[in-house]
Structure 1
Amino acid sequence: MNKLKAVDFYCGGGGMSLGMSQAGISVLAGIDNENKCKATYELNIEGAKFIEADVFELKEKELTRELGLTRNDNSLVLIGCSPCQYWSIINTDKKKSSKSKNLLIEFQRFARYLNPGYIVVENVPGVLRKKEESGLQGFIDWLKKKKYSIHFDIHNVNDYGVPQNRKRFTLIANRINEIEVSPLKSESKRLVVKDVLGSENGFKKIEAGTKDNSKFQHSVAGLSQINLERLKYVKKDGGDRLGFANNPSLQLRCFKNKTDSFKDTFGRLWWNRPSPTITTKFFSISNGRFVHPDENRALSIREGATLQSFPTTFEFKTKSIADTARIIGNAVPPEYAKRIGIAILNNYTNNGR
């Protein structure tokens, strides 16, 4: 059997690559210009090469030669999960992230040249809302012209075995047959926070500022005394900042007389619900609903990774909590990636050869 192989553009720390590997697809390489992801990727994605490169400068023939690829290869999966800050609904510096808006167009350049059997694109829903400006419409038009069968939609990863509400645009295209390939949905109940976190799942109670130097990495950011005091007033299991809103010494000036805005700030997760979207700032209680359901602290590095469906064997090699959180928050949840990979593998094995 000609085994499926994949090249993962904008790979980050390896969420998509890990899921594809778990599905049974051989990942040849991950490509990213962020050096801080390199050590984590190389440590965890066995057999894959990390290519540190700016995709705007990388040439098609150069990459093809380096990885020993062939054009028009039915068994090649080309993956592009470009950084998505420009198209995100979260407030970001659009000027700072403007270069990233063309990353999908650059990925299409490699797809055109290699004409692989399968193409995967994963991004924020904003690329679909603005499909002309993002280059998505042009990409889809090219895929249709090349006779690819195309699936694209907005999916919530909670429907695919991830204990988190996270909506993502996903496109899977194949030119092997006319069968539309879509991620495999979970047949069991949707996971919630209590299914994966808490002492019964191996997470011992810790305090803000705890450093865990073991491979488990149950480390958590520290908190100022006033923030520790604020959290004492935030109700367990889903409480929010309104718990201290009437305390003049604790209320934040920016929230005075604003009871309905940004209520997730200083908010706790619910045990019986999926977590909110794990962002690159999940280690900070002032950047969203990232307070532990019971304990007076933010989520730990390992808790954030677990809510993103990274296995506990996945070790992050960085120099700070912020750097690790950035890798985790930017990642494609590996379980979701695995379900994309299995769907592709099933299509190739049953219908594509």
Structure 2
Amino acid sequence: MLKAVDFFCSGGGMSFGMQEAGIQLIAGIDSDLSCKETYEANITGAQFIHADVTALKEEELESKLGLKRNDDELILIGCSPCQFWSIINTDKTKSSKSKNLLIEFKRFVTYFLPGYVVVENVPGVLRRKEESGLNEFIEWLIGNGYKKPHFKVHNVNDFGVPQSRKRFTLIATRISPNEIIPEELKDRKAIVRDVLGEKNGFPKIDAGHRDSSDFLHTVPSLSDINKRRLKKVLKDGGNRLGFANEPELQLKCFIGRDQSFKDTFGRLWWDRPSPTITTKFFSISNGRFVHPEEDRALSIREGATLQSFPLYYKFKGKSVANIARMIGNAVPPKYATAIGKAIIKNHSNG
């Protein structure tokens, strides 16, 4: 049976999707201990290893998990934190320590020579493939029996995720000479209306609503002025231009800049995929994260649903921000399932 070790596993999006495809997860590795409870609550039989990959030794992992080298049925997955390579214009000082994680992951691939290798990251890794170490990694794979690695930027919306999110994906195998390509769905693309709203199990709530159940239909409160602003934002796709001409509501930073940052305070459209769900999807000032109709940000469960986590997925964390970070950083499970199914199909066909 195909089995996988998920490096940089976070709350388990990739692991869960692979598990749904029919692959056994042996372990998830992450330096963030706050992910442990969520990971173990959802990934059957897998061990959570709290470790900094830069300090983890190959032999140590081999011994801990009883792994074999040159195992045709082993999949090593590396979805490293990717903020440094993101096109989003943020301060890269904090994320710079994670920029070489692909090189660290390569250590384990070199040592174990697994049957399959999966890497998922932001498109910037491909655009800057020399700096990120990707070019060298691909050349190494080809030179060591992984004949036709698939590496491409995919939009997860093509795989049943109700979100527009472009991700770089590499899938390589030394088992066959075939390129492994995740299969896009032929159906209509998933949209917000398919998964959110009352008919999909999301009762109407107000800003500040707290849900103490595992469903976590929880949303942060809003200041009075932000409540007034949202009342002016048109339903179903409106943006901050709805209050731009009201001096008491307009933000000073946007005066004379109507064409800049229009997604801020923006609502989702019912009949389009959501924008990329980031770690700040619960904040109305960090992107187009306002509910299509209700005057509030997306709830924790709504963000998870737009990432294609099932409604029964259990999130454990100390705060809204902590759980939202796990959700926003996750590989959408439905996309991971498509990758897993493509690997299984290749393995079955030899």
Under a length normalisation based on structure 2, what TM-score does the superposition of the two structures give?
Answer: 0.99
Deviation at 1:12, TM superposition (A): 0.3
Please name the residue that 1:154 is paired with: 153
Please name the residue that 2:301 is paired with: 302
Give the partner amino acid of 1:8.
Answer: D
Give the partner amino acid of 2:135.
Answer: Q
Give the partner amino acid of 1:180.
Answer: E
Distance 1:177 1:45 in 2: 29
Deviation at 1:185, TM superposition (A): 1.0
Deviation at 1:319, TM superposition (A): 1.2
Deviation at 1:95, TM superposition (A): 1.1
Please name the residue that 2:99 is paired with: 101
Please name the residue that 1:138 is paired with: 136
Deviation at 1:93, TM superposition (A): 2.0
Please name the residue that 1:338 is paired with: 337
Give the partner amino acid of 2:33.
Answer: N
CA deviations on 1:290-327 (whole Å, 9 max, x unpaired) are 00000000000000000000001101000111111100
Please name the residue that 1:276 is paired with: 275
Distance 1:342 1:323 in 2: 30
Distance 1:171 1:111 in 2: 13
Q: Does 1:290 align with 2:264?
A: no
Match of 1:78 among 73, 76, 79: 76
Distance 2:179 2:250 in 1: 52
Please name the residue that 2:9 is paired with: 11
Please name the residue that 1:189 is paired with: 188
Deviation at 1:90, TM superposition (A): 1.1
Please name the residue that 2:40 is paired with: 42
Deviation at 1:147, TM superposition (A): 2.0
Distance 1:157 1:89 in 2: 18
Distance 2:175 2:89 in 1: 40
Please name the residue that 2:25 is paired with: 27
Deviation at 1:92, TM superposition (A): 2.3
Give the partner amino acid of 1:308.
Answer: Q
Deviation at 1:58, TM superposition (A): 0.2
Distance 2:242 2:77 in 1: 45
Q: Does 1:113 align with 2:106?
A: no
Please name the residue that 1:126 is paired with: 124
Deviation at 1:85, TM superposition (A): 0.5
CA deviations on 1:266-288 (whole Å, 9 max, x unpaired) are 00000000000000000000000
Distance 1:184 1:311 in 2: 21
Please name the residue that 1:167 is paired with: 166
Distance 2:70 2:199 in 1: 49
Secondary structure, aligned partner of 2:269? coil
Distance 2:308 2:105 in 1: 26
Distance 1:76 1:186 in 2: 27
Distance 1:235 1:160 in 2: 30
Deviation at 1:188, TM superposition (A): 1.4
Secondary structure, aligned partner of 1:179? coil
Please name the residue that 2:85 is paired with: 87
Deviation at 1:122, TM superposition (A): 0.1
Distance 1:97 1:258 in 2: 29
Q: Does 1:208 align with 2:207?
A: yes
Distance 1:243 1:220 in 2: 23
Deviation at 1:350, TM superposition (A): 1.6
Distance 1:93 1:331 in 2: 21
Secondary structure, aligned partner of 1:95? coil
Deviation at 1:19, TM superposition (A): 0.3
Distance 2:320 2:77 in 1: 28
Distance 2:285 2:208 in 1: 16
CA deviations on 1:328-352 (whole Å, 9 max, x unpaired) are 000000000001000001100122x
Deviation at 1:186, TM superposition (A): 1.2
Distance 2:186 2:257 in 1: 42
Please name the residue that 2:67 is paired with: 69
Deviation at 1:113, TM superposition (A): 0.3
CA deviations on 1:82-141 (whole Å, 9 max, x unpaired) are 000000011222111111100000000000000000000000000000000000001001
Q: Does 1:244 align with 2:243?
A: yes
Gaps of 5+ in 2: none
Distance 2:344 2:313 in 1: 24
Secondary structure, aligned partner of 1:66? helix
Deviation at 1:258, TM superposition (A): 0.5
Secondary structure, aligned partner of 1:94? coil
Please name the residue that 2:220 is paired with: 221
Please name the residue that 1:51 is paired with: 49
CA deviations on 1:18-46 (whole Å, 9 max, x unpaired) are 00000000000000000111111011111
Secondary structure, aligned partner of 1:139? helix
Q: What is the identity percentage for the equivalent residue pairs of Structure 1 and Structure 2?
A: 68
Distance 2:4 2:348 in 1: 15
CA deviations on 1:173-204 (whole Å, 9 max, x unpaired) are 00001110011211211000000000010100
